A and B are shown apart, each in its own frame.
Chain A
Amino acid sequence: MDPIRKLALFEQNVMPHLPAAYNLARWLTRNDHDAEDLVQEAYLRAFRSFETFQGVDGRAWLLAVVRNTCLTWLRKKGLHPTEEFDERAHSAAEQSTDAESLLLNQAALGSLNDCLEALPLEFREVIVLRELEELSYKEISDIARVPVGTVMSRLARGRKRLQQCLAGALR
C-alpha cells in the first residue's frame, strides 16, 4: 500500500477511536501514565498491521490491539498472573452473600469506580467493553479471545461481584 494513502486511511478509520482506546487502556492498567504509553504503542502496532484490517469496524479492531498490548505489558510486569481465575471457588462465595438485598443509594454509587477497578482483569475487561463501549457479545468474544458463552458468564459474574463490592462499601 502506498505509505501516504495508508496513513490517510488509518487516520480516517482508526484515529477517531482514541477515546475508546484510552478508556480501555486506563481501566486495564488503572494508571494514567501507563495507559498513555500503551495506547501510543498500540497505535503503532495497529498501524504496522493495518494491512490486516478488513475495513469493517475500526473501533473493535483497535480495541483488540489495545487489549493485547496492555495484557502483554501487564504480564511482563507480573501484574496479571497467567493462571486462570478459579471460577468455581469464587462462585460459591458469591452465592453466600445476598446481593439482592442490598439497597443501593448515592453513597454506594460513589464507590462504583473503586469497585470496578478492584475487579479481576477478566471481569473488568468484559464489563468495560460491554457497558462502556457497548460492544456486542460477539465483538467482545473476538477481542478477549474467549467463546461468547464465556463472555456472558464473565459479564454476569462481574456484575454480581460489583454489587457485592458496593454492598461491602456501604457497611
Chain B
Amino acid sequence: MPVSIANSRLIYDALKACDVKIISALPETWLVHLIRMAEEDPDMTLVRLAKEEEGIGISAGAHLAGVNSALLMQNHGFFAAINPIVSLALLYKIPLLMLISYRGHMGEKDPWQTQGGLLTEPLLRALNIPLWHLTNPADVQRRIKDAQTLALASLHPVAVLLSRELMWED
C-alpha cells in the first residue's frame, strides 16, 4: 500500500511536538500508518471511534480537562461530524485540531470519493473553519503547530487537509 510512511512519521512527530496526548481516529487508507504510530506510542491515548461525531465530544472533553488532542478523519468523516462541530465545538468555543485526509481531490481514481472531494473546502469555508493544505513535507511541522496555535488562541476548530501529494506514493 503506497501510503507514505516517511510523511506519516513527519505528521506524527509534529503532533507530538504539539504535546497532543489524545488522538481519536476512524481508519481510512491514508491514515493507517498514523493510527499505527499512535497505537504503538505508550504516551499516546488512541481512541478508535465508531463514528467521527464521537471524536468531537472526546476532544471537547479533553480540552475542558486541560489536555491537547487531535482528530484523524477522512473528509467524509468530517461531513459526518458537522452537527457536533456546529452544536458543540462552535457553540461552546472548543478548539479542534482536525487532520482530514483530502480524498476525491486531484489525482483521485476512486469515483466514490469524488463528490466528497468537491465539497470539502466549500463546507469548511461555510463553517468558517480556517484550513491549511499540507502538500510539502517541509511545511508539515510548522503548519500543524501553527494550526494548533490558532485553534487554541481562537477557541475554534481548524482543519489541516492532508493531500495526495503528501500521503500517497504512486
Q: Do A and B bind each other?
A: no
